[in-house]
Structure 1
Amino acid sequence: MEKEPGSSEEMLDAARKQFLEEDLNILDFEIEELESRLAFTVTTEGSGESCTTACLY
């Protein structure tokens, strides 16, 4: 059975794809944020100063 253009199945597939792309964008942002926090923690710990949780925010 062939899909009709604009069928509900195609619309559902498009919505799923958009949802997954948005999730990936959010995860990419969170990964970048965690990487920058980690880099800050490593440089702070390397200098001999202690870094509490408060300095990460």
Structure 2
Amino acid sequence: MSNSHSPETPVQPAGPNYTESGVDLTLIRWHISLTPAQRLEALTNNIRAILRLRDARKRA
């Protein structure tokens, strides 16, 4: 991805990193910092990774 932000290096939050129910706000902040094209690229990469895992599981 061309954006300098990633889940490993999130944008510095203005508030807490987690909600009371445990939702990771750093991932939400990272995702909304992306352009729509970058969000689509991230989604596509995640789908490809899931499909590779499923394929590897079928072969095992």
Q: TM-score range by the shorter chain?
A: 0.3 to 0.5
Q: Quick check: which one's helix share is greater?
A: 1
**TM-score, structure 2 normalization:** 0.45
**TM-score, structure 1 normalization:** 0.48
